Amino acid sequence: KSQLLKSLKGKENVTADGRKIDIFANIGNVSDVARVLENDAGGIGLFRSEFLYLERETIPSEAEQFHVYRQVLQLMAGKRVIIRTVDLGADKQASYLKLEAEANPALGCRGIRLCLKRPEIFKPQLRALLRAAVYGNLAILYPMITDRTEVEQVLELVQEAAKELEADGVPYRIPEQGIMIETPASAMISDELAELVDFFSIGTNDLAQYALAADRQNESIGELYDPRHRAVLAMIRMAAENAHRFGKRVGICGELASDTDLTEEFLRMGIDELSVAPGMVLKVRKRVREL
Ligand code: PEP
Ligand code: MG
């Protein structure tokens, strides 16, 4: 591994015929940033912000979130950091949110649905992100999008947060904003969505679950849950084509991104970025340079 690191450190991820791709890392906590840097990832493609909200008694304040986001941006020293807004639901409970029990949490009020319904949860996070954006190369990512109206509402809330910060005299910046393509609906209308946002990040974990009607946590149907299914690959291709039609970036941040049997196909689709677990970064970078 250290041999591999030595041979790749600081090098671009470029194929023999000159196709370049960004290889970023996924993290779930500030302490993971050390492993991102150790593995010489080009940035953070997915920072799952749930850790801030889980296993505690009260909602994290705007100030607390601001400090965490700023810390990560400063540690990454100008490299791109994509922070995903909180993806909670009946399956990822936080007692203080008093979420109602649901028979089908994966199909229920999670991700952006919950955030739009409960702006008192969402607004402090948006304000914290806009404030942190001043300190580095931040992009915001919204989970579980299925319709353009959700995107329009989020963009409106961000404008509101900016106006509030302006009125409060607090420094802020509106960074790039993108959406997860992790529902079949969002993939199928990705032409319409690409116009509204700066980038896509394809979440193959959920995209496979919803496309194949196979609960990603249900081991008894594990053989049906196959993110390499043609239906999933077709939706990835469609989202990539639509993103590029509108000149927008498209990455993959689900587990499938680290499947090196598919790296060549992803490059052919024109994927701009693969974001993988920190421990997989070097393996994927090596693969790109072999193609
Ligand atoms: C995904 O769904 O592929 C994804 C990256 O998000 P999560 O695994 O956090 O649902
Ligand atoms: Mg997901």
Dump pLDDT digits (tens) for 234-263.
999 999 999 999 999 999 999 999 999 999
Q: Give the span between the Cα atoms of 23 and 277, in whole angstroms.
A: 10
> Hey, which residues does 221 pair with through a beta bridge?
none
Amino acid in position 242: N
pLDDT score recorded for residue 99:
87
Residue numbering of the annotated binding site for phosphoenolpyruvate? 48, 84, 205-206, 216
Look up residue 229 and give its DSSP letter: S
Identify which of 11, 74, 83, 82 has the alpha carbon closest to the alpha carbon of residue 52: 83
Amino acid in position 42: G
pLDDT score recorded for residue 2:
84
Question: In ligand 1, which atom is closest to the CA atom of 50?
Answer: 9
Q: Is the CB of 209 under 6 A from ligand 1?
A: no
pLDDT in tens, 78-96: 999 999 999 998 777 788 9
Q: Per the structure block, which two tokens stand in for 47?
A: 């920072």
Q: Per the structure block, which two tokens stand in for 151?
A: 């995107």
Q: What is the set of active-site residues?
A: 253
Q: pLDDT averaged over the chain?
A: 96
Mean pLDDT, residues 40-69 taken together: 96
Ligand closest to CA 227:
1
pLDDT score recorded for residue 229:
98
Give distance in angstroms: CA of 106 to centre of ligand 2.
10
Question: How far apart, in Å, do the first and last CA atoms of the chain sit?
Answer: 20
Angle at 51 between CA 152 and CA 206, to 5 degrees: 55
Residue of the nearest CA to atom 8 in ligand 1? Answer: 205
SS3 content of the chain, % helix, strand, coil (to 5): 50, 15, 35
pLDDT band per the 50, 70, 90 thresholds, residue 143: very high
Q: Residue 267: pLDDT above 80?
A: yes
pLDDT score recorded for residue 94:
84
Q: Is the CB of 84 under 6 A from ligand 1?
A: no
In angstroms, what CA-CA distances link 46 with 80, 85, 227, 274? 10, 10, 18, 10
Q: Per the structure block, which two tokens stand in for 290?
A: 């072999």
pLDDT band per the 50, 70, 90 thresholds, residue 189: very high
Q: Is the CB of 254 under 6 A from ligand 1?
A: yes
pLDDT score recorded for residue 86:
97
Ligand closest to CA 202:
1
Range in 9-13, 74-78, 128-132, 244-248 the model is least confident about: 9-13
Q: Residue 289: pLDDT above 80?
A: yes
pLDDT score recorded for residue 181:
98
Helix (H, G, I), strand (E, B) or coil at 20: strand
Q: Residue 168: pLDDT above 90?
A: yes
Run of H or E including 249: strand 249-252
Mean pLDDT, residues 130-153 taken together: 98
* Extended strands (E) in 159-206: 176-181, 199-202
Amino acid in position 92: K
CB atoms under 10 Å from CB of 226, counted, come to: 14
pLDDT score recorded for residue 116:
98
C-alpha radius of gyration, the chain, whole number? 18
pLDDT score recorded for residue 93:
77
Q: Residue 37: pLDDT above 90?
A: yes
CB atoms under 10 Å from CB of 194, counted, come to: 23
Probe target for ligand 1 pocket from 54, 88, 182, 207, with the most ligand atoms within 8 Å of CB:
182
Q: Residue 28: pLDDT above 80?
A: yes
Give distance in angstroms: CA of 270 to centre of ligand 2.
22
Q: Is the CB of 252 under 6 A from ligand 1?
A: no
Q: Residue 48: pLDDT above 80?
A: yes
Q: Per the structure block, which two tokens stand in for 6?
A: 């030595």
Residue of the nearest CA to atom 6 in ligand 1? Answer: 203
Q: Is the CB of 204 under 6 A from ligand 1?
A: yes
Identify which of 126, 127, 128 has the alpha carbon closest to the alpha carbon of residue 141: 126
